[in-house]
Structure 1
Amino acid sequence: MNPIWLPVVAIQGLWLRSTLRLTLAPGGGTSGTAPGPAGTPLRLAVLGDSTAAGCGVTGDDEAFAAGFAREIAARTRRPTNWQVVGQFGATARRIRFRLVPRLGDDLDIVVLLAGANDVMAGRGPALWRDDLTGILTDLAHRTHRLVIAGIPPFTRFPSIPARLARYLGERADALDAVSREVCGRNPERTTFIGAPAGTPPPDFFGADRFHPSALGYRLWAQDVAARVIPAQ
């Protein structure tokens, strides 16, 4: 971004923090089971920030984790137990040292939803690389497969002014580039999945115009699951 616009971005950032009314209370539940017709239940976990915790919805079955578990159960035809360890405002540093230790062991899939708070906090690629590497190292002993979701594109958030969104989007792209590199070191077990392409539908965002709605989480979960376990 042209440095001449940085004062404008700073003003817009202050305006955003003073006017945005985020949905603080997570409503997505912390555990559950998606039924499947046969087989040993799969065990998956969703780890990360407010999107992992389910901010923006109120029902246990409306957030990302439950939707992702339903998709995995449908694709594998196996029951799927899910758990969530998420926290509003969590950066990769907090996830690494505070949230990862709360996960169970012997998991089949762990999905990491993180990065937006690192972008907004001004944490750059070097810090992101260090913490993401640490997270993946710790999770390697807990799960068979790791999925790193790309940072949601700020330019599509209806609550963020356009110039600020572009600035945050550039920072997010830099962190996603690091994620691709880090995940590429062990492609057999670690997968980076970028944000879905295209313009989200009008009802993708919830009441705060920042977190996904029930529809948004469902579409996001469907996209990630389709790329983790493609249809046969």
Structure 2
Amino acid sequence: MNPVWLPVVVLQGVWLRSTLRLASAPGGGVSGTVPGPGAEPLRLAVLGDSTAAGCGVTDGEEAFAASLAQELAARTRRPVDWQAVGQFGAASRRIRFQLVPRLDDNLDLVVLLAGANDVLAGRGPDLWREDLTGILAGLTRRAHRVAVVGLPPFTLFPAIPATLARYLGERAAALDAVTREVCWDHPRTSFIDQPAGTPPPDFFSIDRFHPSTHGYRFWARDVADRLCLGQPAP
């Protein structure tokens, strides 16, 4: 970004922090089971920040983890035992040292939703690489397969002013480039881009920052499609 725009970015950042009222994490369960005709359940965990915690909806059953479990159960025709380990405001350092140890062992799949708070906090690619590497080292010991979801398209967030959103989008792209490299170096780990194009009109919740119930379902459907690619999940 042209440095001449940095004062605008600073002013818009101050305005956003003073006006934005983010949705809190929902009530309801942080784990559950989606039934399916198979005998052996697929063990799923979703790990990360406020989106893993389900901020933007009122019940955990409406959030990303439960929605992804439903999508995977439909595609694999297996029951899915799922858990969500997420925390509002968690950047990669907190996820690495506080949240990864809370996961179960012997999981089939872990989906990581992280990095947005690193972007918002101004943490650079080197710190992101260090913590993401540590996170994946812990996850590959606990799961047969790991998927890291790319950073959100900040330029599409209704709550974020345009110049600030463009700045955040450029920072997010730099972290995503690192994520692809780190995933390539870790066994049984894949990178999943965010859905392409403009999200549907009802994607965002009332805070205009986190997904709504419909947004989480849309997002989970896209991630499930990328995970399965027409094949049964592990």
TM-score under structure 2 normalisation? 0.97
Deviation at 1:120, TM superposition (A): 0.3
Query: What amino acid is aligned across from residue 85 of structure 1 in structure 2?
Result: V
Question: Any idea what SS the aligned residue of 1:61 has?
Answer: helix
Query: What amino acid is aligned across from residue 116 of structure 1 in structure 2?
Result: A
Distance 1:28 1:5 in 2: 43
Deviation at 1:27, TM superposition (A): 4.1
Flag structure 2 segments of 5+ consecutive residues without an equivalent: none
Distance 2:175 2:20 in 1: 24
Match of 2:220 in 1: 221
Distance 1:87 1:127 in 2: 20
Distance 2:140 2:176 in 1: 20
Q: Could you say what the CA RMSD is over the residues aligned between the two structures, in angstroms?
A: 1.0
Q: Which moved more, 1:126-135 or 1:36-45?
A: 36-45
What are the Cα deviations for residues 169-191 of structure 1, in whole angstroms up to 9, with x where unaligned?
A: 000000000000111123x5001
Query: What amino acid is aligned across from residue 226 of structure 1 in structure 2?
Result: D
Flag structure 1 segments of 5+ consecutive residues without an equivalent: none
Question: Any idea what SS the aligned residue of 2:109 has?
Answer: strand
Aligned length: 231
Question: Any idea what SS the aligned residue of 2:72 has?
Answer: helix
Distance 1:28 1:164, change over 3 A: farther
Match of 2:176 in 1: 176
Distance 2:28 2:188 in 1: 27
Is the aligned partner of 1:23 residue 2:23? yes
Deviation at 1:39, TM superposition (A): 2.1
TM-score under structure 1 normalisation? 0.97
Match of 1:114 in 2: 114
Does structure 1 retain, via aligned residues, the 8 Å contact 2:26–2:60? no
Distance 1:10 1:27 in 2: 35
What are the Cα deviations for residues 91-148 of structure 1, in whole angstroms up to 9, with x where unaligned?
A: 0000000000000100000000011000000000000000000000011110000000
Question: Any idea what SS the aligned residue of 1:199 has?
Answer: coil
Does structure 2 retain, via aligned residues, the 8 Å contact 1:51–1:211? yes
Question: Any idea what SS the aligned residue of 2:173 has?
Answer: helix
1:185-196 mapped onto 2 (5 Å cutoff): 185-186=185-186, 189-196=188-195
